[in-house]
Amino acid sequence: MPPEKNEKPDKRVLASYGREVRRLREEAGLTQTALARRANSSKTTISEVERGVTPPVGQLRAALDEALGNGRLTHLWKELTGSGGEVWKYEIAELIDGASAVYEYEVLVFPAYLQTQEYARAIIRHGAPWLPTSEVERMAEERWKRSQRIAERENPRLWLVMDGSVLLRRYGSAEVMRRQLAHVTDLAVRGRITLQMVPPDAPTHPGVSGAYKLITTDHVPEVLVAESIREGQVITNTMEVANYRMQFSALQGIAMNPIETLTRFQDEIARLER
């Protein structure tokens, strides 16, 4: 869950924020001492913020943004903290890594743990245009490394139902999409994931409530993760989890079977190669 206001942010948040402060400072041609004067702070504090050692208080963040960011640092902080969403994404990623099985329904994009680096880069760049290029590259590389780890492991077992509209989207370019489809298709051919697609013209589409995932582990009850643009909610209530388990079964029921889905993906790859 997002950190409370009196809790220290995740170290990855501090490192990312600090890197951008340093980049903007150097771009502006300022020393740490000069920036400290503008922000009514000290050289030591600026150094610690840039190294991700010290969490910047609200007053300092505002002063740094006024001196350097022109709004960019504020946007970045919101994206990286609980007011933006990056921390809870790390927590969910850790939950998935320790799971025995994941049942996921996606509407707009492939799950982060199945994304190629180019596909992830396009999604992050256009979905969060305020992020610096260095941060976009870092996040895209991190997703790809995780995707490779998932591909090489036997667990968690992955059941993925995708809305058919995903095939119509061209994040980055047609070539980026072709490589993304090829990556997922390869996983399906190898049996690493079970992939089904809901046809765009399905008359009884039960997936209108948005994307979600059901995560099963060996040591805790199954949980439901419902995500929005700003946060993720981990739900353990038995009845709610059972309701979404029923909905996932309904989605599988109206979706193309895995063989039909694989054929549809392969046809789209061939079309993009022309």
User: Beta strands 223-227 and 232-235: pairing type?
Assistant: antiparallel
| Spatial CB neighbours of 117, under 8 Å, sequence gap ≥ 6 | 140, 141, 143, 144
Give the total number of structural domains in the chain: 2
Whether residue 208 sits in one domain with residue 121: yes
Whether residue 183 sits in one domain with residue 163: yes
Q: What is the mean pLDDT of residues 104-127?
A: 94
Q: What is the mean pLDDT of residues 217-222?
A: 75
Q: Give Cα separations from 263 to 195, 196, 266 (angstroms).
A: 11, 11, 5
Answer yes or no: are the C-beta atoms of 140 and 124 closer than 8 Å.
yes
Q: Which residue would you say has higher pLDDT here, 115 or 222?
A: 115
DSSP the chain: -PPPTTSPPPHHHHHHHHHHHHHHHHHTT--HHHHHHHTTS-HHHHHHHHTT-SPPPHHHHHHHIIIIITTHHHHHHHHHSTTTSHHHHHHHHHHHHT-SEEEEEESSS--GGG--HHHHHHHHHHH-TTS-HHHHHHHHHHHHHHHHHHHH-S-SEEEEEEEGGGGG--SS-HHHHHHHHHHHHHHHHTTSEEEEEE-TT-SS---TT--EEEEE-SSS--EEEEE-SS-EEEE--HHHHHHHHHHHHHHHHHSPPHHHHHHHHHHHHHHHH-
Whether residue 128 sits in one domain with residue 38: no
Whether residue 182 sits in one domain with residue 67: no
Answer whether residue 161 is part of any domain. yes
**Statement: residue 228 has pLDDT above 90:** no
Whether residue 73 sits in one domain with residue 203: no
CATH number, domain containing residue 66: 1.10.260.40
Q: Which two tokens stand for residue 80?
A: 């990286």
Answer whether residue 6 is part of any domain. no
Q: Which of 50, 80, 110 is the last residue of a domain?
A: 80
Q: Which residues form the domain of 68? A: 11-80
Answer yes or no: are the C-beta atoms of 130 and 76 closer than 8 Å.
yes
Answer yes or no: are the C-beta atoms of 187 and 114 closer than 8 Å.
yes
Whether residue 125 sits in one domain with residue 110: yes
pLDDT tens-digit map of 9-39: 667 788 888 998 998 999 899 999 999 999 9
Given this model, what pLDDT does residue 182 score? 97
Answer whether residue 2 is part of any domain. no
Q: Measured between alpha carbons, how far is 68 from 245 in angstroms, rounded to an integer?
A: 48
Q: Which of 39, 62, 80 is the last residue of a domain?
A: 80
Q: Which two tokens stand for residue 127?
A: 């979905």
Whether residue 154 sits in one domain with residue 233: yes
Q: Measured between alpha carbons, how far is 2 from 80 in angstroms, rounded to an integer?
A: 10
Q: What is the mean pLDDT of residues 254-269?
A: 96
Answer whether residue 169 is part of any domain. yes
CATH number, domain containing residue 174: 3.30.870
pLDDT tens-digit map of 85-105: 444 566 677 778 889 999 999
Which pLDDT band holds residue 260 (cuts at 50, 70, 90)?
Answer: very high
**Statement: residue 149 has pLDDT above 60:** yes
Q: What is the mean pLDDT of residues 234-262?
A: 92
As a whole number, the mean pLDDT across the chain is 87
Strand partners, 67: none
Whether residue 258 sits in one domain with residue 151: yes
Q: Measured between alpha carbons, how far is 132 from 109 in angstroms, rounded to an integer?
A: 22
Which pLDDT band holds residue 106 (cuts at 50, 70, 90)?
Answer: very high
Whether residue 45 sits in one domain with residue 119: no
Q: For the whole prediction, is pTM greater than 0.95?
A: no
DSSP 22-39: HHHHHHTT--HHHHHHHT
Whether residue 224 sits in one domain with residue 105: yes
Sheet holding 212-216, edge to edge: 193-198, 157-163, 101-106, 212-216, 223-227, 232-235
Whether residue 100 sits in one domain with residue 73: no
Answer whether residue 68 is part of any domain. yes
Whether residue 97 sits in one domain with residue 71: no
In this structure, how many other beta carbons lie within 10 angstroms of the beta carbon of residue 167? 18
Q: Which of 80, 101, 129 is the last residue of a domain?
A: 80
